[in-house]
A = this chain, B = another copy of it.
Amino acid sequence: MKTSKLQLQKVRQTLGKALHETPVLQSQALNDLTGAQLFFKCENFQKTGSFKARGAFFSVQSLSAEAQKKGVATHSSGNHGQALAWAARQMGVRAYIVMPEDAPEVKAVAVKAYGGEVHFCAPNLAAREEGLKQVQAKTGATFIPPYDYENTILGQSTCAQELLEQVFDLQAVFTPVGGGGLAAGTCLAARYCSKGIAVYGAEPAGADDAYRSLKSGLHVAEHQPSTLADGLRTTLGHLNYAILKERLADIFLVNDQEMLDAMQLIYQRLKIVVEPSCAVPLAALIKHKEQFAGKRVGIILSGGNVDLGAFFKHLEQKKGR
């Protein structure tokens, strides 16, 4: 992927007012805990509740008018499906989302609420890809991949671009690593829109394909994830691997308990709702805090789409007493 500062700036201009410039939050308690000055970039407040709206919007907007007429399609059980449905609707484009039939009902409801057309398939990758092909054959819709795609990565770069403008003199930025769309976009923004801020990736130990790829120099293209961080179970993409290999300062692993502890800190101290994946970078920073003591560190909180059912059920039971 060839990129330039001008190109990244243009991407950002293209997104315009369709997306939120999300706020940056701080917490004295978390600064005290880590010894660093932390700046949390809150993509949980982004349209559709995650940064995915950025890449999806830029990808749809970059299509020709003819392609837009035929619609866009993807397979997703998570945030990308919602983001694509939302983005397409902003431009009057049809969106076809292939979802495994065992996906939580709330996910399909969300896609439909954004005007997307849901196509169910058997819950395995082969069926998802086959389902997508069928939809494309029938409609001529363009496939918009969730991360291994240039325009998706460029769209995601706008998150760190904003952060670099919102907070001066950052010395490091932490990003979660799943498929690598946000991580690669963050690396590009740091490379072209800052004086070389170091970007650190954080990954669940139960889905450590990016860690193993980057440490070994051999792209691990398949893995069997086992982590609560549902947003980070995907496999690192090819374009993404190439960018991270060149630009990522380091990558850290955390286990699910470390992630949950960090997630609880975010709820208690920042008073915001984030999904488990979101907490992986803070958990990694806490684990390696000596390395970042005294530094100004940005932390990208990727999204806030989490099922709070258990919490509200508990409250309702208390009410019933």
Contact = CB atoms under 8 A, between A and B. Distances in A.
A315 B264 CA distance: 11
Contacts of A274: 271
Nearest to A228: B319
B308 A268 contact: yes
A49 B271 CA distance: 8
A44 interface: yes
A23 B308 CA distance: 24
Contact of A44 (B23, B49, B271, B319): B271
Interface range on chain A (Cβ under 8 Å from partner): 20 to 34
A319 to B, nearest CB: 5
Nearest to A256: B319
Contacts of A310: 310-311, 314-315
Interface string A265-292: 0011001111010000000000000000
Interface in A6-42: 23, 25
A200 interface: no
Nearest to A319: B256
Contacts of A319: 228, 256-257, 260
A316 B25 CA distance: 26
Given A23-B23, A308-B264, A310-B310, A315 B272 contact: no
A168 interface: no
A237 B6 CA distance: 61
Interface in A117-175: none
A51 interface: no
- Tell me the dominant secondary structure on chain A's binding face: helix
Contact of A308 (B44, B49, B267): B267
B228 A318 contact: yes
A41 to B, nearest CB: 14
A12 to B, nearest CB: 22
A222 B153 CA distance: 61
A316 B271 contact: no
A228 B315 contact: yes
Given A260-B316, A310-B310, A310-B311, A45 B228 contact: no
A201 to B, nearest CB: 22
Given A228-B315, A228-B319, A308-B267, A273 B276 contact: no
A81 interface: no
A304 interface: yes
B273 A315 contact: no
A287 to B, nearest CB: 17
Nearest to A269: B49
A315 B229 CA distance: 11
A41 B308 CA distance: 23
9 contacts: A23-B23, A228-B318, A257-B319, A260-B312, A271-B304, A272-B272, A308-B311, A310-B310, A311-B314
